[in-house]
Structure 1
């Protein structure tokens, strides 16, 4: 048996889908927030996806950024990142990380602090002030790439 939908039927079906209740995904920890909002590209635990998204679990990188690590991360979260990057011998070219727009500032702060501390093994933390500054200055992708230390 084959089921076909007319245009009216397809529209009615789509409208019915829109009336279904939305199930909120709740996260208990910053790591779970990372899994929800970032792991599709950066993979579970921030290990990266070769050719798609670089690993974030690179303490040497975050520590080499020093005091600029939270500013850099806030800039990437707000402005996104594009351009040629070579990280641990893997080239990342042409793919654009869009600004992280599907989160609240509170979630960005939790995720950012988790990346800096758990993956970067730093004592740095993300803050509302850093996010606000990144929004006000909108660092370019070139500016963000220029901040990167030559440790990869």
Structure 2
């Protein structure tokens, strides 16, 4: 099978969740801070399930999650009526497929994805990896998403 065919197959497997058990990957990668099922841990990390930034269904929310996974996030933010001041470390060491799986899980399973939701692909994550986004910009994106 040609490289392009293999890449397409992997992309489809990730998009459908067949490559990795998304719940297990989330629990292993994110659960210690964000809690089982992404409900958050007060004083440590905000909830990802039912997130305010996802409720608006704005297009920017689709890229917001993988950008945070890749670049981390620090600073003050409010979620579910609580204020958080913490640091999420960047996860650049993760494979593009893993980041796509995690982002799709947060976007489509922990939140109500819009009907026209297009799952992120490893190729899109690879492109985002080259884009440098600082924490101030990510906090600004978050603020716009919750307005």
Category of TM-score, reference length = shorter chain:
0.7 to 0.9
Aligned to 1:71: 63
TM-score by length of 2: 0.75
CA drift of 1:145 comes to 0.8
Q: Is 1:150 aligned to residue 114 of structure 2?
A: no
CA drift of 1:103 comes to 3.0
Q: Is the CA contact (8 Å cut-off) linking 2:65 and 2:103 kept in structure 1?
A: yes
CA drift of 1:42 comes to 0.5
Q: Is 1:109 aligned to residue 105 of structure 2?
A: no
Unaligned runs of 5+ in 1: 1-26
Distance between the aligned counterparts of 1:92 and 1:62, measured in 2? 18
Task: Decide whether aligned partners of structure 1 residues 66 and 129 sit closer, same or farther in structure 2, where only a CA change above 3 A counts.
Answer: farther
Q: Is the CA contact (8 Å cut-off) linking 2:22 and 2:102 kept in structure 1?
A: yes
Q: How many residues are paired up?
A: 124
Aligned to 2:6: none
Higher RCO, Cα 8 Å, sep 6+: 2
Distance between the aligned counterparts of 1:43 and 1:125, measured in 2? 23
TM-score by length of 1: 0.73
Unaligned runs of 5+ in 2: 1-18
CA drift of 1:99 comes to 0.9
Q: Is the CA contact (8 Å cut-off) linking 1:78 and 1:138 kept in structure 2?
A: no
